[in-house]
Amino acid sequence: MLSGLEHFLGQVPTTYKNARVGLCCNPTAVDRQLRHAIELLPEAGVRLSRIFGPEHGVFAAAQDMISVHDEGPEVVSLYGNDEASLHPTPESLADLDVLLFDIQDIGARYYTYQATLGFMMEVAGKVDTKVVVLDRPNPINGVDMEGNIVLPGFESFVSAYPLAIRHGMTMGEMARYFQRYCGLECELEVVQCQGWRRDQWFDDGDLPWVLPSPNMPTLDTAIIYPGMCLIEGTNLSEGRGTTRPFHLIGAPWLDPDKMVRLCRQGAEDCGLTGVGFRAASFEPQFQKHAGQLCGGVELHIQDRNALESVLLGLVVIEAAMRCNPDAFAWRTETYEYVDDPIAIDLLFGSAEGRVALESRVSLRELTKSWEAPRLDWLPKRARCLLYE
C-alpha cells in the first residue's frame, strides 16, 4: 500500500521543481519510514514556500479548541483566535502556484481536517492556486456509512459540508465532492494512494499509524469516534485527559454500576452489537471534570465489523440521561467559535438527534429516520469515489 505522498514522490513532475509550493500538513504526512513531507519534498526537488497548519498545529501538539499561532516564519496557522482564522487569507495563497494537502483523515464528519481542506479549496479557487490532495486511506473503511446529513443552518467547523457522520470517503474523494457539489471551484488534482480497497481497514495495510490529533492515539479510537465524539456536546467527560480518550465516558455524578447496566440494556433494546461495557472510574487530568473522580463506563470493541459507532454514541448518551437526569445537561459553552446552535446540534448537523433523545424516541427508529436522506445523498457520493 502506498500513500498519495509516496506515490507523488515516486514521480514528481518537473514543473513542481520551479514552482512556488505550499503544504498543508500535520504529523501524519509521512512515508512508511516515518520521514515527513517537510523533509521529503525538498529532497525530491520541491521547494516549499509556505506551510499551513490545521487544528492542533503542524506538529499536532495543541489540544482541541486551543488556538494555534504561527509556528515559524514560513508557517501559517489555520486555527487561531476566531472563526475567520479557519480560512486562509487570499494573500497567503495568491503567490503560490500549487498547494499540496497531506493529512490523514479518520472517516468522521466532525473531524475538522476535511473542513480545512474545503476552506482552502474555496480560497484557492479565488486566487487561481491549484490544489493537489495527496490522498490516504479511510482508516475505518470506505464502505460503511452511518448517521444523518447536515441540514442548512447547522453548518460549522465540525459539520461544514453536507456529509453523513460516517461518510466512507477519503480526503481526495471529499475534495472531488466539495468541488462538484459544494461550489468550491478550484483547479484540483488528487494523487491517489495505491493498493487500498474500500473494504479495508487501516491495519489491513502496512502504512504506519501516526496520531492525527492528540486524542486519536489508535485505530480503535477512530473506530468509535463517529459516535463517541457526540459526548463533546454534553457535560460528560469523553475521556480527554486520560489515556483512553473516547473509550472512557463519565462524570462525578454518575454511578458506574448503574451506568453500565443502562448501557447494556440500551444496546440490547436497539440491537447494538460488537461492543462491551465495563463499569469504570477515572480522573481526567485536564478539560471536563479535571482532577475529579468520575464514574462511568469503558468501551471495549469486540467486533468492529458489526459495531455501529453512531448508535453506540446514542446508547451512551441515553444511558447517562436515564442514570442521573437531574445532573445530565447539554453543553452550552461556545463550541468551535459558535454559541448558537449549541454543540450537540452542531455535531449532529441538525436539532433532530437532540430532540429525539430528549423525547425518548427509540434509538433504532432515530437511526432509521436518517436512512432516506442518506440514500438521496449516495448518488452524489458515488460520482466522486476513486477506489474499488
Higher-pLDDT residue of 65 and 228 is: 228
Residues 182 and 225 grouped into a single domain:
no
Let me know if residue 118 belongs to a domain.
Answer: yes
Residue 374, CA distances (Å) to 2, 166, 227, 315 in order: 31, 11, 17, 21
Give the residue among 19, 352, 322, 6 at the shortest CA–CA distance from 153: 352
Same structural domain for residues 201 and 277?
no
18 in a structural domain? yes
* CATH number of the domain residue 334 falls in: 3.90.1150.140
**Mean predicted confidence (pLDDT) in 99-128:** 98
Mean pLDDT of 276-304: 98
Per-residue b/e over 307-338, b at no fewer than 16 CB within 10 Å? bbbbbbbbbbbbbbbbbeeeebeebeeebbbb
User: With 50 as the cut, is the pLDDT of residue 67 above it?
Assistant: no
pLDDT 10s digits, 143-178: 999 999 999 999 999 999 999 999 999 999 999 999
Residue 60, pLDDT score? 52
Q: What is the rounded average pLDDT of the residues 250-260?
A: 98
Consecutive H or E run containing 344: helix 343-348
Q: Do 258 and 304 have their domain in common?
A: yes
State mean pLDDT over 307-333.
98
Q: Is residue 156 part of a domain?
A: yes
71 vs 214, residue with greater confidence: 214
Do 28 and 175 fall into the same domain? yes
What is the count of structural domains for the chain?
Answer: 2
State how far the Cα of 87 lies from the Cα of 99, in Å rounded to an integer.
Answer: 14
What is the structure's pLDDT at 74?
A: 84
* 352-381 tens-digit pLDDT: 999 999 999 999 999 999 999 999 999 999
pLDDT at 69 > cutoff 80: no
Query: Residue 28's domain is classified under what CATH number?
Result: 3.40.50.12170
Shared-domain flag, residues 232 and 171: no
Res. 70: pLDDT tops 60: no
Q: Are residues 177 and 94 in the same domain?
A: yes
Q: Residues 213-239: what's their mean pLDDT? A: 98
247 and 322 part of one domain? yes
Q: For residue 267, is pLDDT > 80?
A: yes
Asked if 322 and 315 count as a contact pair (C-beta separation under 8 A), the reply is no
**Among the listed residues 346, 353, 289, 350, the one whose alpha carbon sits nearest the alpha carbon of residue 83:** 346
- Which pLDDT does position 321 carry in this prediction? 98
Q: pLDDT tens across 190-212, in order?
A: 999 999 999 999 999 999 999 99
Judgement on whether residues 148 and 249 belong to the same structural domain of the protein = no
Return mean pLDDT, the chain: 95
Q: What distance separates the 2 farthest-apart alpha carbons in the chain?
A: 65
Do 120 and 259 fall into the same domain?
no
Determine the structural domain holding residue 318 and report its residue range.
219-350
Do 319 and 192 fall within a single domain? Answer: no
* 243 CB neighbour count, 10 Å cutoff: 10
Instruction: Tell me which of 67 and 209 has the higher pLDDT.
Output: 209
**How many CA atoms, within 13 angstroms, populate the side-chain half-sphere of residue 61?**
6
CA distance 85 to 365: 39
In the chain, the percentage of residues whose pLDDT exceeds 70 is 96
pLDDT at 3: 98
Q: If you write DSSP's letter for every residue of 236-265 in order, what string do you get?
A: SB-STTSSSTTTEEEETT--HHHHHHHHHH
Does residue 345 have a pLDDT over 80?
yes
pTM: predicted TM-score of the whole model, two decimal places: 0.95
Is there a domain that residue 292 lies in? yes
Q: Stretch 102-114: mean pLDDT, rounded?
A: 97
Same domain (yes/no): 272, 180: no
What's the pLDDT at 239? Answer: 98
205 & 333 share domain: no
- 373 occurs within a structural domain: no
CA 379 – CA 333 distance, rounded (Å): 37
